[in-house]
Amino acid sequence: MQKPLVIAAPDVMTEQARWLARLSGERRLSVLTTQAYERDLRQFLSFMTRHLGGPPTLADLSDLRPLDLRAFMAERRREGAGARTLGRGLAGIRSYLRHLERKGLANAAGAAATRAPRQPKSLPKPLSALDASRVVDADLQLAEEPWIAARNAAVLTLLYGCGLRISEALSLTRSDLPRAGDAIRITGKGGKTRIVPLLPVARQAIDAYLRLSPFAPASDAPMFRGARGGPLQPAIIQKEMRRLRAALDLPDTATPHALRHSFATHLLAGGGDLRTIQELLGHASLSTTQVYTGVDSSRLLDIYDRAHPRA
């Protein structure tokens, strides 16, 4: 009978068991996450066995070099592992080495100095114009309380109709609403402010909510309130979006942030220019907006050809 492959010395395996117990006990990581970390470390120790010509000991791991970790990731990449898998694997190895470092058994500096692979940018898929309209329709909201249904419709309308982030929508106060005019000042990431048009449909949705709401917060307090009167939390809107997904037969990619993405995509499809969409979204650079709206380089050049006076 073939003997099982030994991938590490007994002292390494003993500390591995203690590390895994700490992850699931003190840190309360899920079973799946703990299993993924165990698998990633097992793959690394198997690599080190081949790399060193024998099962690694704690002494071998006591001062790992970035070169060792880069060699491991290079092998995993050749095997087909993607950037996300490699990043998670490196995170597991770092966690184990920090466990050893706390006990004076290793130096985790080499792992900390090793850069994780750059993660690919992923964006939610935009909803169709019809599906986005259904999501923000006050008559299709699922909450039994009329004021809560109106609240949810107003928040979702701000995401799709104004391109706001969910945090920006939920931080709006009564004093932020213009008494006259059709634009609101939004404070976004990094404290940067921008002016965003407030469409009549969005203003009407907000007014309908304010008329029905049983709460009257101070003018400088968030106007969207939870069922008990406290500031509305993003998790509530995210949960409501999941319910709408099921009720309206929408894909899992239909999230609150996908409404903001839909706002930008539909504007671009309707002839909006990237620079204006950049300002509306509050992006720091045009390249971010280019990726966000899914516009390719040929479309970008076409826009410049049509818009630039020297084109």
Q: Looking at the structure, tell me whether residues 87 and 151 fall in a common domain.
A: no
Q: Looking at the structure, tell me whether residues 141 and 17 fall in a common domain.
A: no
- Picking from 86, 112, 138, the residue at the C-terminal end of a domain is 112
pLDDT of residue 241: 93
pTM, two decimal places: 0.59
CA distance linking residue 123 with residue 54, whole number of Å: 44
pLDDT in tens for each of the 311 residues of the chain?
344 456 788 898 999 999 999 888 877 777 888 888 899 899 999 999 998 888 989 988 887 888 888 899 899 888 888 887 888 888 888 889 899 989 998 888 877 777 777 766 666 688 888 999 999 999 999 999 999 999 999 999 999 988 899 999 999 999 888 876 688 888 887 778 888 888 889 999 999 999 999 999 898 999 999 999 999 999 999 999 999 999 999 988 899 999 988 888 888 777 777 777 887 887 777 766 766 666 545 555 665 666 656 64
- Is 234 within the bounds of a domain? yes
Q: Looking at the structure, tell me whether residues 169 and 73 fall in a common domain.
A: no
Q: Looking at the structure, tell me whether residues 106 and 200 fall in a common domain.
A: no
- In our burial notation (b when 16+ CB lie closer than 10 A, e otherwise), range 245-269 reads beeeebeeebbbebbbbbbbbbbbe
- Is 222 within the bounds of a domain? yes
Beta bridge partners of 187: 193
Q: Looking at the structure, tell me whether residues 57 and 97 fall in a common domain.
A: yes
pLDDT of residue 296: 47
Tell me whether residue 17 is exposed, middle or buried, using C-beta atoms within 10 angstroms of its C-beta: 0 to 12, 13 to 18, 19 or more: exposed
Q: Looking at the structure, tell me whether residues 133 and 25 fall in a common domain.
A: no
pLDDT tens digits, one per residue of 210-248: 999 999 989 899 999 999 999 999 999 999 999 999 999
Catalytically active residues, by annotation: 165, 189, 257, 260, 283, 292
Domain with 58, as residue range(s), is: 10-112
Q: Looking at the structure, tell me whether residues 241 and 200 fall in a common domain.
A: yes
Q: Give the 3-state secondary structure of residue 183.
A: strand
Q: Looking at the structure, tell me whether residues 93 and 213 fall in a common domain.
A: no
- Is 2 within the bounds of a domain? no
Q: Looking at the structure, tell me whether residues 174 and 252 fall in a common domain.
A: yes
Q: Looking at the structure, tell me whether residues 152 and 259 fall in a common domain.
A: yes
- Is 216 within the bounds of a domain? yes
- Is 298 within the bounds of a domain? no
- Is 118 within the bounds of a domain? no
Q: Looking at the structure, tell me whether residues 193 and 90 fall in a common domain.
A: no
Question: At residue 129, what are phi and psi to the nearest 5 degrees?
Answer: -60, -35
- Is 120 within the bounds of a domain? no
- Domain with residue 25: its CATH number is 1.10.150
Domains in the chain, number: 2
Q: Looking at the structure, tell me whether residues 151 and 265 fall in a common domain.
A: yes
Asked whether 111 and 97 are in contact (CB, 8 A), the reply is: yes
- Is 293 within the bounds of a domain? no
